[in-house]
Structure 1
Amino acid sequence: MKNDSNCTNDTGFQYTLYSTTYILVFIPGLLANSVALWVLCGYTNKKNKAIIFMINLAVADLAHVLSLPLRIYYYLINVWPFTNFLCLFCFYLKYLNMYASIMFLMLISIQRCMFTINPFKAKDWKRRYDVAISCLVWVVIGASCLPFPIIRSYGLSNTSVACFADLGMNNKMAHGPALTMITAAELGGFVIPVIIITYCTLKTRSQLKNDSLQRQNVSEKRKALRMVLTCAAVFFICFAPYHINFFFYMLVNWSIIKNCSVQKVILTFHPFSLCLASINCCLDPILYYFSASEFKNEVVRHGSTMIRVRLMSRESASSIRS
């Protein structure tokens, strides 16, 4: 990173921060998203009302979670013994998860809001529409995230032992493709989703108030509002801090911001914002449980079944002993 030679910033804490965060996220994220996929794919009868988008959201989270052990290893050992391709692929999965999650959270908000305003659209909406939209999202986001590892692979050789936070930045691209990419990421990955999610939240809340006065479908509208609010909460907690700070972080890297005190604040907050972006892997399953009645019912039903099986096995074992 290039900044003022008289300005030094202690970033040694980030290794402990990253490793601790990823260790805390890995087990809950792996279990929660695995259960979510199992329930949503195998035990949910209704495939409309954003269920397809939830499945894709769980897939995006699980892909990132499965790469965390390699990140944990690197930040604990401080050496990357694997291939450069694997390093860049894990780096790529981080941004793929982030922007795919943002898109699917936005789509869930849009769909719930749309069906709240016009319930007749929900009856005519086909599952294949959600499948087609999801495929399009993966293609667009997958292609859009490719420049991220390319920019951060600057100076990487076959003998490199550095990875992730220690990857170099191609400063020569500051006024070229990198600037275009950063602008597109901020607009498409933050500004537009902020506007849409905020609008959907306010519109759904307004619709619920109107229907409450008329006492029409209040219960269903409350579920819709709860889902949209949860999407907004996950977005603003996990992704807003990163995108707000990331713009200034790049200005520091490109030596546009030269004030030492400002540099220190931006560089110190950057690792925290990245950790918040990873926490979404644990928060998204809360969206499924509290917002999708089918998901909640299936989890409770299968949990109760497992408890009954265990109790019966204990009773059988006790009768045999007696």
Structure 2
Amino acid sequence: MTSVNTCEAVNGSSFTNNTVRKSSINQLYTYFYLFIFIPGLLCNTLALWVLCRFVSKKTKAIIFMINLTVADLAHVLSLSLRIHYYLKQDWPFGDVLCMLCFYLKYLNMYASIAFLVCISVQRCAFLLRPFQARHWKSRYDVCISGVVWLVVGLACSPFILMRSSSSSANRSCFKDLPMRKLGMISAVSMMVAAELSGFLGPLIIIGFCTYLITKSLRQRNQKQQSTSSTRKALRMVRVCTGVFLFCFVPYHINFLLYLMVTQNIIMNCAVKQAVQLFHPISLCIASLNCCLNPLIYYFLTTEFKLQLSQHSSSVLRGRLMSTESTSSCRE
């Protein structure tokens, strides 16, 4: 008896269970994406507008924040098509757009991880070596961002190469696309590369930056030389660490097991069911980063908060003046 038959024997009615599970997952994706679509769209649009138009100081990781916002907006805009698919269970937009939306989810995830690392490293480096920060040019951040997009874009291509296109009769997309069967060496290589470069490596770097800034803050406290810039840098890196841990740790822990399940490396039925059940939940948690990242800009970037408050005040003053002029004309 194969493992599939064994699982069916354990589950009882396999068809009924799979139908119920598929319906539950579709509802989870639909409601969750509806929940984050409007806040993600509004927050990231506002953040991108403020960062590009009003923030003239291009140091303090502003360029990286702009790129992080672009990554989040690309993913948020694709959510409308995902919501349509999970509501209608039909994809009339073609294979190219399906693969593009599928690709954008992983591009957003790993671009977010990369730019969170860039923000943490830059704030740490500028704090520990303030004289070098004075000579740093914004074009350096632009070049680094270009390299990040190129590397992450190429690294995320296996996610779509592993999926097969749906037939014309069965217009399916996203999680319903069939998974290609990989060889053992290819599967293990992909797991190791994704976990090391996309998870463990960034986690170690962000953790090390947090340690260095914390150590610097303690030394300055002992010498009574603590400054607000040190505390702000520490808050920035800690929030980046918090967003990273909350959004991406559950997915990457489950991703390793999920890939082993899809490639029939894990054969235990109970483990397979648990991994498959948690996979959509971990993807939803990872998508929350598009709503959490704007909190970094507002609460931890003085320029962003200042310019946003100034713009809000000017808008309010303009409305009050127009109201007063209208009243005087009526009199």
Shorter-chain-normalised TM-score: which range? over 0.9
2:113 corresponds in structure 1 to 102
Percent of paired sites with the same residue: 53
Distance 2:24 2:117 in 1: 34
> Could you tell me which of 159, 164, 173 is aligned with 1:163?
173
Contact 2:166 2:173 in 1 (8 A): no
Distance 1:209 1:314 in 2: 53
2:134 corresponds in structure 1 to 123
1:5 corresponds in structure 2 to 8
Q: Which amino acid aligns with 2:283?
A: L
Corresponding position: 1:298 with 2:322: no
Distance 2:309 2:328 in 1: 29
Determine helix, strand or coil for the equivalent of 1:5.
helix
Q: Which sections of structure 1, spanning at least 5 residues, go unmatched?
A: none
Corresponding position: 1:32 with 2:43: yes
Corresponding position: 1:55 with 2:66: yes
Determine helix, strand or coil for the equivalent of 1:113.
helix
Corresponding position: 1:77 with 2:88: yes
Distance 1:12 1:249 in 2: 20
> Could you tell me which of 260, 267, 270 is aligned with 2:279?
270
1:44 corresponds in structure 2 to 55
Distance 2:106 2:248 in 1: 11
2:151 corresponds in structure 1 to 140
Give the C-alpha shift of residue 217 in structure 1.
Answer: 5.0
Contact 1:208 1:221 in 2 (8 A): yes
2:212 corresponds in structure 1 to 203
My pick for the range that moved more, 9-18 or 274-283, is 9-18
Distance 2:141 2:179 in 1: 38
> Could you tell me which of 229, 245, 249 is aligned with 2:254?
245
1:91 corresponds in structure 2 to 102
Give the C-alpha shift of residue 216 in structure 1.
Answer: 2.6
Distance 1:251 1:257 in 2: 6
Contact 1:151 1:178 in 2 (8 A): no
Q: TM-score, normalised by structure 2?
A: 0.92
- How much is the aligned-residue C-alpha RMSD, in angstroms? 1.6
Larger radius of gyration between Structure 1 and Structure 2: 2
Contact 1:49 1:122 in 2 (8 A): no
Q: TM-score, normalised by structure 1?
A: 0.94
Q: Which amino acid aligns with 1:299?
A: L
Give the C-alpha shift of residue 159 in structure 1.
Answer: 3.7
Contact 1:84 1:158 in 2 (8 A): no
Determine helix, strand or coil for the equivalent of 1:157.
coil
Q: Which sections of structure 2, spanning at least 5 residues, go unmatched?
A: none
Give the C-alpha shift of residue 155 in structure 1.
Answer: 5.3
Contact 2:124 2:212 in 1 (8 A): yes
Q: Residues 156 and 178 of structure 1: is their aligned pair in 2 closer, same or farther, counting only changes over 3 Å?
A: farther
Distance 1:147 1:274 in 2: 17
- Where relative contact order (Cα < 8 A, 6+ residues apart) is larger, the structure is 1
My pick for the range that moved more, 302-311 or 15-24, is 302-311
